[in-house]
Amino acid sequence: MNTEKRVRVLVGKPGLDGHDRGAQVIAYGLRDMGFEVVYTGLRQKPEDIARAAVEEDVDVVGLSILSGSHLAMTRKVIEKLAEMKASDIMVLVGGVIPEEDIAKLKEIGVAGVFTAGTPVAEIAEFIRSHVRNQGPDSQSVA
């Protein structure tokens, strides 16, 4: 029996961007690679994404942003996660992200940035290498 906890990923589309093909490709691809995936759908408020992440007990929030609002939307999601005492949830950003904004996103707390066209396998490997899987028998006691 496999007691290893599957990594849970929430894929969110903050703001008014109405294109979600890329987010769906990532969500389905990660699911097919063994991740548990929650997709929140289009036009979500940052606070709704953060709330869903906490309620769903995810390990990772992946934001898909094509609208150019990546800095503002990501900052708001990270702030909302902090307000909810969930700063331990890793945040990733993908989409149309100018090269000069990647460092800014990392400065505000983004663990990884994946521009349009990044293979799903590369994202999956990044997540696996940064999130520690813990089964019920491997929890530490303080």
Cα gap 72→24, rounded to integer Å = 22
Cα gap 30→123, rounded to integer Å = 8
Contacts of 81 (CB under 8 A, 6+ apart): 50, 53, 54, 61, 87, 89, 91
- pLDDT of res. 2: 56
Of the candidates 15, 16, 58, 66, the one whose C-alpha atom is nearest the C-alpha of residue 39 is 58
Average pLDDT on 84-92 reads 98
Residue 111 has pLDDT above 70, yes or no: yes
How do residues 16-36 score in pLDDT, each as one tens digit? 888 899 999 999 999 999 999
**Domains parsed from the chain with CATH numbers:** 8-130 (3.40.50.280)
- For the chain, give the percent of residues with pLDDT over 90: 82
- pLDDT of res. 137: 37
Burial of 58 (0-12, 13-18, 19+ CB in 10 A): buried
Residue 63 has pLDDT above 90, yes or no: yes
Helix (H) / strand (E) containing 122? helix 120-130
Average pLDDT on 27-51 reads 97
Contacts of 53 (CB under 8 A, 6+ apart): 10, 12, 61, 81, 86, 89
